[in-house]
Chains A and B, each alone.
Chain A
Amino acid sequence: MNKKQKKNLIRIIIASVLLIILHFLPITGWIRFIGYLIPYLVVGYDVVLKAGKGIRNRQPFDEYFLMAVATIGAMALAIYEDGDYTEAIAVMLFYQIGEWFQSYAVGKSRRNISDLMNICPDYANIEVENGQLQQVDPDDVEIGSIIVVQPGEKIPIDGIVIDGTSSLDTAALTGESVPRDVKVDDEVISGCINLNGLLKIKTTREFGESTASKIMELIEDASSRKSHSENFITKFARVYTPAVVYAAMALAILPPVILYFTTNEITFGTWLYRALTFLVISCPCALVVSIPLSFFAGIGSASTQGILVKGSNYLEILSKTKTVVFDKTGTLTQGVFEVTAIHPSELDARELLHLAAHVERYSKHPIAMSLKHAYGDEADNCSVENIEEIAGHGIKATVNGHIVHVGNAKMMDSIGADWHDCSTHIGTVVHVALDGKYQGHIVISDIIKAHSSEAIQALKRCGVNQTIMLTGDTKKVADYVSDALHIDQVYSELLPQDKVSKVESFLSQKKNPYDILAFVGDGINDAPVLSRADIGVAMGALGSDAAIEAADIVLMDDDPLKLATAIRISKKCLRIVKENTWFAIGIKLLCLLLGAVGIANMWAAIFADVGVMIIAVLNAMRCMFISKYH
């Protein structure tokens, strides 16, 4: 509870006690009115002041205005009839209780969520002259400084380990509980918890640019991108409040006037009371608060599972995902390649690998890494020059004066080399040509991720009716993977730009414009596709800025099952938003109707306002609790 909440709670209690005392005091007339005015002012003075301010600023139609007019009107009616002031005060009292509860609940969930996402440490340790550690503001640490992270502390800034070994808990970032071992020269990212050893880290980024800070910023900004539901409510409230005020005015004036002229009955009091009931019911707070709260809580609970959703709008449309397009490598398969066969035509097997490894010397592509890894000692004194990467084909370079082409069948065709496919192994076939003459091929295979098959099944259960795989890999490998995973459609041997046009054609073939197409990739070379799809999902993006930038949803680890979890969270959130919208609007309309014909009194109106709001807020808070996929 903060100071304001405490103060308001005290006001509520004092007013309630006064109300009970007044109920038993035998006073009448003006003294009675003044007596009841005290608890009214205690609990409602700020509402009346704010209403006055609203009128002065020419923005009168807000909840304060509604409450002020309704309660003052009810007081006036009570003076006129020397009747019951309790109702007017109760309206104000319950309104304040509702406001208090709302502020408490929102504050509580705000704190819960920020605790869950508390990945940014607020200090860094720097070693000073005598070997002592000094805590400094991480914002002041320059790139290239050495920071010390003790066991149990969070790494504040991204960097490279220069001393020590340890295991890191990445759960806060990825939702993955298996610790990661790090040693000297390993890159570490901020937000991980150092579990056992002392680490000295040379920083490679500023604090504000480090992973943990970036992620925090992203989550906090996410709820600024408003969903359709939120925009709908904002528009709704803008039309609804004035409409109700005018309806109340009409209700106070028209029926009694008509009745007076037709039957000569004087019924102004009754109809004024009904009009005031109208005003109390009308406050749209339940919707205005509960819907953003649902999205905020949903985004928060997703991020605790290593799923970053970059906006409420994405969380909203994710639930309508009907088609999921996967990239293969690094998404459904591990992207860790191993050389499984070497089939030379003329050269020695080792020599073929040697040439291939040299050409790939500077490439970071997984295939290049596996070739270099298989050869072992690539950094010998051979000369490698004029390296040229041909996208979708391969790499060409001059090794010891000879032009070597290393790439796929298309590359061999383009240089006119007489290649042949591998007849024994399934995998990525890397062909090698020396001075334009075919020298044989090396087969590299990738492994399907443990959860891929389960993920496809889970997506189907979440309402996805079509799964598609796109890959630059050969048809043979692609078919092998898609058969193993039961993927509906597969397109192979695509260049990066083909993937964009494929996704575009899927988008234009959609039967229903509200069906959503999601693309899942590892974010390394599919940024254009990520941004073209309705929702781009980057996977295994820990530490990759480009992927985080391009995607709408980021899965921090590389488990494809997380996508199904994300869709489930989205569905639950949307269900709660819908429940709240229909529940709140429904109850209010019903009470308005009953109020207009005189069945619902002020107490029903209080329920329609405060009760509905409390129920909606409690319901919205359920978005925070979503179980993992088992």
Chain B
Amino acid sequence: MKKSYKIDVDCANCAAKMEEAAKATAGVLDATVNFMALKMKVEFEEGADPQEVMPRVLTACKKVEDDCEIFFN
């Protein structure tokens, strides 16, 4: 399953870091962050619940870049 979320982040490099962090989160198969459109596309693993995975993605992203936000509600 693929979903797209609006994000807020300051710099292109930070967006790349968010992408790495999101990809490494359990339950996420693949993720791409589009800095220009301020969007994050997340492909979830089979059977993963986005509502359960996304808070962990946010925590992982905050860890590498505390100035970021993902709007998943």
* A interface residue numbers (CB < 8 A to B): 4, 50, 53, 57, 59, 62-63, 99, 102-103, 106, 110, 217, 220-221, 223-224, 234, 237, 285, 288-289, 292-293, 296
Q: Are A102 and B37 in contact (CB under 8 A)?
A: no
Q: From residue 46 to 60 of chain B, which have CB atoms closer than 8 A to chain A?
A: none
B1 at the interface (CB under 8 A from A): no
Q: Are B16 and A234 in contact (CB under 8 A)?
A: yes
Give CA–CA (A288, B64) in the complex, Å: 18
Q: Are B64 and A224 in contact (CB under 8 A)?
A: no
The answer to whether A57 and B64 touch (CB under 8 A), given A63-B13, A102-B11, A285-B11, is yes
* Chain B residues with CB under 8 A of A4: 10
Give CA–CA (A11, B35) in the complex, Å: 25
Q: Are B36 and A292 in contact (CB under 8 A)?
A: yes
With A99-B10, A221-B37 known, 15 other A-B pairs at CB within 8 A are A53-B66, A57-B63, A57-B64, A99-B11, A103-B11, A217-B4, A220-B34, A224-B41, A234-B16, A237-B13, A285-B13, A292-B35, A292-B36, A293-B36, A296-B37
* B interface residue numbers (CB < 8 A to A): 4, 10-13, 16-17, 32, 34-39, 41, 63-64, 66
Q: Are A110 and B16 in contact (CB under 8 A)?
A: no
Give CA–CA (A50, B39) in the complex, Å: 23
Give CA–CA (A237, B20) in the complex, Å: 15
Q: Are B17 and A59 in contact (CB under 8 A)?
A: yes
State how many angstroms separate the Cβ of B11 from the closest Cβ of chain A: 7
From A59, A106, A221, give the contact of B34 (CB < 8 A): A221
State how many angstroms separate the Cβ of A301 from the closest Cβ of chain B: 13
Sample 24 A-B pairs with CB under 8 A, ordered by A number: A53-B66, A57-B63, A99-B10, A102-B11, A110-B36, A110-B37, A110-B38, A220-B37, A220-B39, A223-B34, A224-B34, A224-B37, A224-B39, A285-B11, A285-B13, A288-B11, A288-B12, A288-B13, A289-B11, A289-B12, A292-B35, A292-B36, A293-B36, A296-B36
From A62, A223, A288, give the contact of B37 (CB < 8 A): A223
Lowest 6 A-B CB distances belong to which pairs? A296-B36, A220-B37, A224-B32, A224-B34, A288-B12, A223-B36
Give CA–CA (A62, B11) in the complex, Å: 12
Give CA–CA (A292, B39) in the complex, Å: 14
The A/B interface has a contact count, at CB < 8 Å, of 49
* Chain A residues with CB under 8 A of B36: 106, 110, 223, 292-293, 296
* Chain B residues with CB under 8 A of A223: 34, 36-37
Give CA–CA (A221, B64) in the complex, Å: 24
The answer to whether A62 and B13 touch (CB under 8 A), given A53-B66, A57-B64, is yes
From A57, A63, A221, A296, give the contact of B41 (CB < 8 A): A221
* Chain B residues with CB under 8 A of A237: 13
Give CA–CA (A211, B32) in the complex, Å: 24
State how many angstroms separate the Cβ of A509 from the closest Cβ of chain B: 35
Closest A residue to B34 by beta carbon equals A224
Give CA–CA (A221, B35) in the complex, Å: 11
Give CA–CA (A628, B10) in the complex, Å: 33
State how many angstroms separate the Cβ of A567 from the closest Cβ of chain B: 22
Q: Which of A4, A102, A106 has the largest number of chain B CB atoms within 10 A? A: A106
State how many angstroms separate the Cβ of A621 from the closest Cβ of chain B: 12
* Chain B residues with CB under 8 A of A103: 10-11
State how many angstroms separate the Cβ of B44 from the closest Cβ of chain A: 17
Give CA–CA (A296, B39) in the complex, Å: 13
* Chain A residues with CB under 8 A of B12: 288-289, 292
* Chain A residues with CB under 8 A of B34: 220-221, 223-224
Give CA–CA (A99, B17) in the complex, Å: 17
* Chain B residues with CB under 8 A of A293: 36
* Chain A residues with CB under 8 A of B39: 220, 224
Closest A residue to B38 by beta carbon equals A110
Give CA–CA (A103, B16) in the complex, Å: 16
Give CA–CA (A217, B36) in the complex, Å: 13
The answer to whether A59 and B10 touch (CB under 8 A), given A110-B36, A223-B37, A224-B34, is no
State how many angstroms separate the Cβ of B1 from the closest Cβ of chain A: 15
State how many angstroms separate the Cβ of B38 from the closest Cβ of chain A: 7
* Chain B residues with CB under 8 A of A110: 36-38
